[in-house]
Amino acid sequence: MKTKTVYRVYVDYEKEEKWLNEMAAKGWLLERFKIGRYVFSEGKPDEYMYRIELLEELPNHSKSKAYLEFLDEMEIEVVDTSFRWIFLRKRTEDGPFHLYSDFDSMIAKTNRVLQLYQLVFLVNIIAVCINVLSPFAVWVIWPNLALAAFVAYLIQRQTQKSRTLKGLREISEQD
């Protein structure tokens, strides 16, 4: 089987998901992932649709295992996992692939992503502060700040998304 390895770093998972689907449309199917490293195999164009999900717990937690088992029963394949992120794919012939179809679960996912971005932002700011007070690797300050600024932009976007979804939920049925 022909494979292709691509090195890329994504902070924005939505952009990453879009790219994976563009690759899949061309017949390159993601098989393995390690931060920055994507391994694709050659398949048929438009055979699969990919989704990236953020779990509440690590993949080997019993809660996550039950969810992954359920996804498997729903004909959704777990391609690879990395930390709490999982890469999923489903055959396009089985219809469109969405993980969430109501506002509550969409809001919950948006908030999970938001919290992770906030953590990344905080870690970077703390690293910069420590580095300014007692310089250990001054050159890291700028990449740290750049990453923090980009994540701040993503946080703003996810917050906006969460707010829009909440607005829609308010005028529809809820538990």
Which stretches of the chain bind another protein, using CB under 8 A? 53, 67, 70-71, 73-76, 95-96, 98-102, 104-105, 108-109, 173-175
CA distance 128 to 123: 9
Instruction: State the nearest-atom distance from the C-beta of 139 to another protein, in Å.
Output: 42
Question: 155: closest CA among 125, 126, 119?
Answer: 119
Contacts of 36 (CB under 8 A, 6+ apart): 7, 8, 9
Instruction: State the nearest-atom distance from the C-beta of 60 to another protein, in Å.
Output: 18
Instruction: State the nearest-atom distance from the C-beta of 5 to another protein, in Å.
Output: 29
Radius of gyration of the chain (CA): 18
Complex with another protein: residue 28 or 90, whichever CB lies closer: 90
CA distance 121 to 140: 15
Instruction: State the nearest-atom distance from the C-beta of 162 to another protein, in Å.
Output: 16
Complex with another protein: residue 105 or 115, whichever CB lies closer: 105
Complex with another protein: residue 105 or 160, whichever CB lies closer: 105
Amino acid at 59: P
